[in-house]
């Protein structure tokens, strides 16, 4: 019998990266890994693979933090997730980096998703209550291999107790996953103005297939390939503007019996398994674009747009947000505005992020 927790997982973690509401549904293990943790990325159309490094860089690209300007930064982010469906879903992320020298960085991140109290229901009555949750603990290292290019790797420990095993209690699932990324940053001059060009590409959440409830059904990890870039242009001494784009695709096969496909084979099969050929494969690419206005490194105004093909999820929405920085403290907000559904499970989604950016540590 399908447990109530499975329904909770489908509805409470429904998000723009994993669930198709029309056709060709892509279901994966640990779907919370695809939730944007920080308000800055969330306010610019879910982009971050090629943006300026910050405390949450390891989520977007394991190689980014090598170009961070501070020696130490950390932050905490909170998202009341999909409150239109459940009133007590919460997503919390802690992230940071440390640069021991000018060419490398260590990063860490903790992400925790709580579903609140859930009743365990038998056919005739409620027989118990539990609090399902998922979390991940990440660690990464990146280093510049050339003046303008860095590489990075990340490891991730995952745990989930979304499923219950009878009245006895939750069934705990554990797993590991890995990321690999490349990041480029270079300076350029446009007439009398200077700017920074950034580009990144990464493969995230590569790992073994997961058995959630000791059944014969195996679930792929939410493996994705992500690429993106942007330009940050200095208009004058007080004003700058940055533009970003990002493309992402799940490396998860949609068609066929998942139990007959290994995790490694699934990576390659995801590029050509669609019956519609290359045209359908291209529709599986999600697109995000964003823009950021920066005033004196004190005030930040952001906006973006996220697009998913109607046949592959149809999640399309506008994002907006702002940031304020004072001394070493930064406070960011983001807000999501659904475009194509009158009542949307992600409507009114807010993110709040508090960051601390410290200059070089003194002995």
Q: What is the pLDDT of residues 240-257, one digit of tens each?
A: 999 999 999 999 887 655
Query: For all residues of the chain together, what is the average pLDDT?
Result: 84
Which residue did the predictor score with more confidence, 129 or 204?
A: 204
pLDDT in tens, 174-193: 999 999 999 999 999 988 88
**What confidence score (pLDDT) does residue 7 get?**
38
* β-pair type (239-250, 286-295): antiparallel
SS3 115: coil
**What confidence score (pLDDT) does residue 210 get?**
87
**What confidence score (pLDDT) does residue 6 get?**
40
Backbone angles phi, psi at 157, to 5 degrees: -100, 130
**Beta carbons of 357 and 335 less than 8 angstroms apart:** no
Listed range (5-14, 83-92, 271-280, 304-313) with the worst mean pLDDT: 5-14
The number of residues in the chain equals: 363
Average pLDDT over every residue of 22-41: 81
Average pLDDT over every residue of 59-80: 95
pLDDT at 8 over 60: no
**What confidence score (pLDDT) does residue 302 get?**
98
**What confidence score (pLDDT) does residue 21 get?**
35
Q: Which bin fits 141, alpha (ψ -120 to 50), beta or left (φ > 0)?
A: beta
Average pLDDT over every residue of 137-158: 97
**Beta carbons of 221 and 210 less than 8 angstroms apart:** yes
Question: Angle at CA 216, nearest 5°, toward 158 and 132?
Answer: 40
pLDDT at 323 over 70: yes
Tokens of 248: 């992402």
């Amino acid at each position: 019998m399908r447990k109530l927790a499975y329904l909770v997982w489908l509805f409470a973690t429904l998000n723009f990266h994993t669930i198709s509401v029309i056709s060709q549904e892509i279901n994966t293990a640990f779907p919370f890994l695809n939730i944007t943790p920080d308000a800055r990325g969330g306010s610019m159309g879910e982009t971050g693979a090629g943006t300026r490094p910050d405390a949450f860089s390891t989520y977007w690209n394991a190689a980014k933090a090598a170009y961070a300007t501070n020696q130490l930064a950390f932050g905490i982010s909170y998202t009341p997730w999909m409150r239109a469906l459940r009133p007590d879903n919460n997503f919390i992320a802690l992230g940071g980096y440390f640069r021991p020298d000018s060419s490398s960085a260590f990063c860490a991140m903790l992400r925790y998703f709580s579903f609140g109290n859930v009743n365990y229901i038998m056919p005739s009555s409620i027989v118990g209550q539990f609090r399902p949750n998922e979390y991940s603990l990440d660690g990464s290292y990146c280093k510049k291999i050339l003046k303008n290019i860095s590489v990075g790797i990340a490891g991730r420990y995952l745990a989930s107790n979304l499923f219950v095993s009878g009245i006895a209690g939750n069934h705990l699932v554990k797993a590991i996953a890995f990321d690999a990324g490349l990041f480029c940053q270079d300076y350029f001059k446009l007439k009398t103005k200077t700017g920074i060009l950034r580009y990144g590409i990464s493969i995230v959440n590569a790992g073994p297939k997961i058995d959630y409830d000791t059944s014969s059904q195996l679930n792929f990890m939410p493996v994705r390939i992500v690429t993106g870039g942007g330009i940050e242009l200095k208009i004058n001494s007080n004003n700058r503007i940055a533009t970003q784009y990002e493309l992402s695709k799940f490396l998860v096969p949609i068609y066929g019996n998942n139990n007959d496909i290994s995790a490694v084979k699934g990576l390659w099969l995801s590029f050509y398994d669609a019956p519609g050929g290359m045209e359908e494969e291209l529709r599986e690419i999600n697109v995000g674009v964003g823009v950021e206005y920066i005033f004196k490194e004190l005030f930040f105004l952001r906006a973006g747009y996220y697009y998913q093909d109607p046949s592959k999820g149809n999640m399309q929405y506008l994002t907006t947000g702002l940031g304020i920085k004072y001394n070493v403290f930064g406070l960011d907000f983001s807000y999501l505005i659904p475009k194509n559904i009158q009542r949307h499970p992600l409507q009114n989604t807010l993110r709040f992020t508090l960051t601390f950016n410290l200059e070089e540590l003194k002995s």
